[in-house]
Amino acid sequence: MTQRAIISLRPHESAEDCWRMIAQRHDYHFYHTPIISTHKRYINISMLADFSEIIISSQNV
Nearest one of 35, 49, 47 to 7, comparing CA atoms: 35
Q: Are 14 and 3 in contact (CB under 8 A)?
A: no
Residues sharing a CB contact under 8 Å with residue 51, sequence separation 6 or more, in sequence order? 3, 4, 5, 32
Distance, CA of 53 to CA of 61 (rounded, Å):
24
Name the percent of the chain lying above pLDDT 70.
Answer: 2
pTM over 0.85: no
Q: Report whether pLDDT(20) > 60.
A: yes
What DSSP element (H or E) covers 23?
helix 15-25
Q: Report whether pLDDT(22) > 50.
A: yes
User: Which tens digit of pLDDT belongs to each residue from 36-59?
Assistant: 444 434 434 444 444 555 565 555
Question: What's the whole-number average pLDDT of the chain?
Answer: 53
Q: What pLDDT is stored for residue 32 in this prediction?
A: 43
> Domain residue spans in the chain?
4-58
